Amino acid sequence: MDRTDVPSASVIWHARAMAETTDALGSAPDTNNASEAKRRLDKHGLKRLPESPRRSPVLRLIEARKLRA
Protein backbone atom coordinates (compact mmCIF):
# COMPACT_ATOMS: atom_id res chain seq x y z
CA MET A 1 0.00 0.00 0.00
CA ASP A 2 1.51 3.34 -0.94
CA ARG A 3 0.40 6.75 0.29
CA THR A 4 -2.28 7.04 -2.40
CA ASP A 5 -4.19 3.95 -1.26
CA VAL A 6 -3.95 4.32 2.51
CA PRO A 7 -7.32 3.47 4.06
CA SER A 8 -9.37 6.39 5.27
CA ALA A 9 -8.90 7.52 8.86
CA SER A 10 -12.66 8.04 9.05
CA VAL A 11 -13.31 4.28 8.82
CA ILE A 12 -14.18 2.77 12.19
CA TRP A 13 -11.82 -0.21 11.87
CA HIS A 14 -12.43 -1.69 15.31
CA ALA A 15 -16.16 -2.02 14.57
CA ARG A 16 -15.65 -4.01 11.37
CA ALA A 17 -15.43 -7.79 11.09
CA MET A 18 -11.87 -9.11 11.05
CA ALA A 19 -12.23 -10.61 7.57
CA GLU A 20 -13.64 -7.37 6.18
CA THR A 21 -10.80 -5.37 7.71
CA THR A 22 -8.02 -7.68 6.57
CA ASP A 23 -9.48 -7.77 3.04
CA ALA A 24 -9.65 -3.96 2.92
CA LEU A 25 -6.04 -3.72 4.11
CA GLY A 26 -4.79 -6.44 1.78
CA SER A 27 -3.73 -8.63 4.68
CA ALA A 28 -4.76 -11.85 6.39
CA PRO A 29 -4.47 -13.14 9.96
CA ASP A 30 -1.93 -15.80 8.98
CA THR A 31 0.37 -13.66 6.80
CA ASN A 32 2.53 -12.23 9.58
CA ASN A 33 5.56 -14.33 8.80
CA ALA A 34 9.12 -13.55 7.79
CA SER A 35 8.43 -13.46 4.05
CA GLU A 36 5.47 -11.10 4.51
CA ALA A 37 7.54 -8.87 6.80
CA LYS A 38 10.32 -8.75 4.19
CA ARG A 39 7.82 -7.91 1.42
CA ARG A 40 6.35 -5.06 3.47
CA LEU A 41 9.78 -3.77 4.45
CA ASP A 42 10.86 -3.75 0.80
CA LYS A 43 7.66 -1.99 -0.25
CA HIS A 44 7.26 0.56 2.57
CA GLY A 45 10.71 0.84 4.14
CA LEU A 46 11.49 1.18 7.82
CA LYS A 47 9.02 2.81 10.19
CA ARG A 48 10.97 5.80 11.39
CA LEU A 49 9.98 9.17 12.67
CA PRO A 50 11.81 12.09 11.11
CA GLU A 51 14.52 13.47 13.32
CA SER A 52 13.68 16.75 14.91
CA PRO A 53 16.08 19.60 14.26
CA ARG A 54 18.74 19.82 16.93
CA ARG A 55 19.30 23.04 18.78
CA SER A 56 22.77 24.08 19.72
CA PRO A 57 23.77 23.86 23.38
CA VAL A 58 24.10 27.67 23.44
CA LEU A 59 20.48 28.14 22.32
CA ARG A 60 19.28 25.60 24.88
CA LEU A 61 21.15 27.46 27.62
CA ILE A 62 19.64 30.80 26.53
CA GLU A 63 16.15 29.28 26.56
CA ALA A 64 16.71 27.76 30.00
CA ARG A 65 17.79 31.13 31.37
CA LYS A 66 14.70 32.79 29.87
CA LEU A 67 12.47 30.28 31.61
CA ARG A 68 14.07 31.02 34.99
CA ALA A 69 13.62 34.78 34.64
The 3-class secondary structure across 7-66, one letter per residue, is CCCCCCHHHCCHHHHHHHHCCCCCCCCHHHHHHHHHHHCCCCCCCCCCCCHHHHHHHHHH
Residue range 49-68, pLDDT digits in tens: 888 888 899 998 898 888 77
Q: Do the beta carbons of residue 12 and residue 19 sit within 8 Å?
A: no
Q: How confident is the model at residue 18 (pLDDT cuts 50, 70, 90)?
A: confident
Residue range 2-11, pLDDT digits in tens: 455 555 667 8
Residue range 20-51, pLDDT digits in tens: 888 888 777 776 688 888 888 999 899 888 88
Q: Cα(66)–Cα(58) distance, rounded to whole angstroms? A: 12
